[in-house]
Chain A
């Protein structure tokens, strides 16, 4: 099993450009999450999904959109990138139940110039 994979690993964007980050999991998990990690702030939840076809907003959803068309994939989109979106983005998945382990991907480092 590959676990949770993220594509791409690193990307540089210019302000105003758009891009999509892909998260894939092969563990048949219902829940998937997108976080951003900035120095001194831990991880902050952007959007999450509790199952195929569902999405919900997290703590910092502005400027991002998501889609969960297939159970194994969770896409994070930036329609018009801003320098404030420079960050490391992590995807995670977990089985049903709040006490279950979250499994994280290796992260995508995004730089917006």
Chain B
């Protein structure tokens, strides 16, 4: 059982649609990160959220950290084919130096 569960696991949508990916846990994290990974490459950091309730925007992507610091969401507005990839959340607990990764959400945006 992984510490962070993501949903949905797979998502296939048409270009222009909106979507939300969820990252949930029963544990509390000091910070949470979102990564995007393309086939054959390593993950690349999109954003880090550190304050409960924090909302960060990166162009069409909106990230939110839950008030209780146990969950996060990623919302994409007007998805484009270039958004296609594997989205991973990763959390750091207050005790330790480890990053715990979520199970991943594979997004396909169809032109």
Contact = CB atoms under 8 A, between A and B. Distances in A.
B50 interface: yes
Interface in B1-27: 2, 4, 6, 9
A106 B88 contact: no
Contact of B88 (A33, A40, A42, A105): A42
B78 to A, nearest CB: 27
Chain B interface size, under 10 / 10 to 19 / 20 to 34 / 35 or more = 20 to 34
B48 interface: yes
Given A101-B48, A102-B45, A107-B42, A43 B88 contact: yes
Contacts, number: 64
Contact of A42 (B44, B45, B50, B101): B101
27 contacts: A35-B101, A40-B104, A41-B104, A42-B2, A42-B4, A42-B88, A43-B43, A43-B101, A44-B2, A44-B101, A45-B101, A48-B97, A56-B97, A90-B42, A90-B43, A92-B42, A98-B30, A98-B31, A98-B97, A99-B48, A102-B99, A104-B42, A104-B43, A105-B42, A106-B40, A107-B40, A107-B42
Interface of B: 2, 4, 6, 9, 30-31, 33, 40-45, 48, 50, 88, 90, 92, 97-104
